[in-house]
């Protein structure tokens, strides 16, 4: 599926990988009951990276952060 998105839909590799990572972070965040620090630990990322992926997912979905 990932390869077909890159080849058939002509999406840039980096953009496709970022989308995939955002989805992985989102699912892991659900499993960690919203705990970003635990999500970062599970995925071997730092918390700042987790926040970046969360923000990217929100932007893609058109969701604001409520400010």
Summarize pLDDT for 6-20 with one digit per residue, the tens. Answer: 777 777 878 888 888
Distance in angstroms (rounded) separating the CA atoms of residues 40 and 51: 9
CB 6 within 8 A of CB 16: yes
Confidence category of residue 1, pLDDT binned at 50, 70, 90: low
Mean pLDDT of the chain: 86
Predicted TM-score of the model (pTM): 0.75
Q: What is the mean pLDDT of the segment spanning 21-37? A: 96
pLDDT in the model for residue 40: 98
């Amino acid at each position: 599926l990932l390869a077909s998105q890159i080849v058939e839909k002509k999406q840039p590799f980096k953009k496709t990988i970022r989308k995939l990572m955002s989805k992985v972070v989102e699912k892991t965040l659900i499993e960690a009951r919203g705990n970003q620090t635990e999500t970062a630990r599970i995925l071997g990322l730092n918390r700042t990276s987790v926040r970046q992926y969360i923000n990217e997912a929100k932007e893609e979905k058109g969701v604001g952060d409520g400010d």
